[in-house]
Amino acid sequence: MRDWGLDSFYVTEVAKVSIQMAHKKEETRVVDVIFGAHPIIEALKAKRRKINGLYTTNPQPRAWDRIQEFLPKYAVPVKVMTKDALDKFCGTTDHMGVAATFSTFPFRKNMFDPAKSPKILLLDAIQDVRNLGAILRSVFCTGIDGVVMCSSKGAPLTGAALKSSAGLAEYLEIYQAPSIKFAVAEIKKAGYGLYMAVAEGGKPVHQVEFTQPWCLVIGNEEKGIEHSVRKEGIGVTLVQRASDSSYNASVAAGILMYLAVNRS
C-alpha cells in the first residue's frame, strides 16, 4: 500500500465550496467536492471521474488508509486543513475529516433507450439533497437502469447528496432534463409507459403490473408530481395506515421501486 503522506500546507480559509480550475483563459472547469470516506472511496472505485486533490485534518482520519488503497497511480495533491477550514470547504461538519475534489459528474447527454434501459426513474422537484441521495441509493440497490433528474426545480447532485447515497450514485446513469414537462415528453417519445406515484386516487401499487419499458415518477416532497403532467401516466398509490399520515419521500420511493422492479 502506498503512503502518500500529508504535506505541511495548511489551508485556513476557503471562500467557495466549488473550486474553479482554469485551464485556458476562455475555458473554466468547475470541480465537485465530495466528502466522507465512503463516497470518496466509491468515486475512486467507479473510475468515472478524475480526482484532483485530497483535503484532510491532522491527525489523519481513521479511514485514511482505506482511501489510499484506491488512489490512482498518478500523484494526488494532499493538503492539511484545520477542522474549521474543512467545515467551510465542505459546507458541513459531516465530512469525517476528509474531502476530495473530482471532475464533474458524468451526466448522460441523451435520453435513455428503452431497449437497453427498460426500467427508469424520473424525479420531479425533489428538494432535500438527503432525500435525493437516499433515493439514488435505492435506485442502485433495486437494479433500476437509470435516473432522469430535472435541473429547473430539483436539488442538485451535491456532496451531501452523494454522501446520502453512500457513494452509490457514482455508478448510476443519470440524465438531466431542463424541466418536468420536457422530461415527460422525451420519455413518452422514447416509448416508456409512465407510472405516477400519487398520494391518493391512484391504483394500489400492489395491484399494478408494471409493463416494460416503464418509468416510475416520484414527485416533490410537499406537492407531489406537477399537476400538468399527472394525466400523462397511470397513477399508483402506496397504501398507508391513515390518510392523514405519509411516508418520507425517499422511503416511499424505495418501496415503490422495489415493487415496480419485482412486478414487471
In one-letter notation, the amino acid at residue 198 is V
In one-letter notation, the amino acid at residue 255 is I
pLDDT of amino acid 8: 31
Structural domain boundaries of the chain?
Answer: 10-102, 119-262
pLDDT of 19 > 60? The answer is no
pLDDT, mean over the chain: 87
Q: How far apart are CA 131 and CA 142, in angstroms?
A: 16
- The owner of cell 476562455 is 26
Domain 119-262 has CATH 3.40.50.920: no
Would you state the CATH architecture of domain 10-102? 2-Layer Sandwich (3.30)
Q: Band of the pLDDT at 11, cuts 50, 70, 90? A: very low
Secondary structure (DSSP) of 19-38: PEEEEETTEEEEPEEEESHH
Span 110-132, pLDDT tens digits: 999 999 999 999 999 999 999 99
pLDDT of 6 > 70? The answer is no
Question: If you average pLDDT over residues 195-223, what whole number do you get?
Answer: 93
- The owner of cell 469525517 is 96
pLDDT of amino acid 244: 66
Query: Do residues 261 and 144 touch, judged by C-beta distance below 8 A?
Result: yes
Q: Band of the pLDDT at 26, cuts 50, 70, 90? A: very low
pLDDT of 17 > 70? The answer is no
Question: If you average pLDDT over residues 75-82, what whole number do you get?
Answer: 94
Spell out the alpha helix ranges (H) of the chain: 37-46, 64-69, 83-90, 129-142, 159-164, 180-190, 227-230, 249-262
Question: If you average pLDDT over residues 182-200, what whole number do you get?
Answer: 95
pLDDT of 7 > 50? The answer is no
What percent of the chain has a predicted confidence (pLDDT) above 90? 76
Cross-strand bridge partners of residue 123:
149, 218
- Do the domains at 10-102 and 119-262 have one common CATH topology? no
Gyration radius (Cα) of the chain, Å: 20
Q: How far apart are CA 1 and CA 159, in angstroms?
A: 27
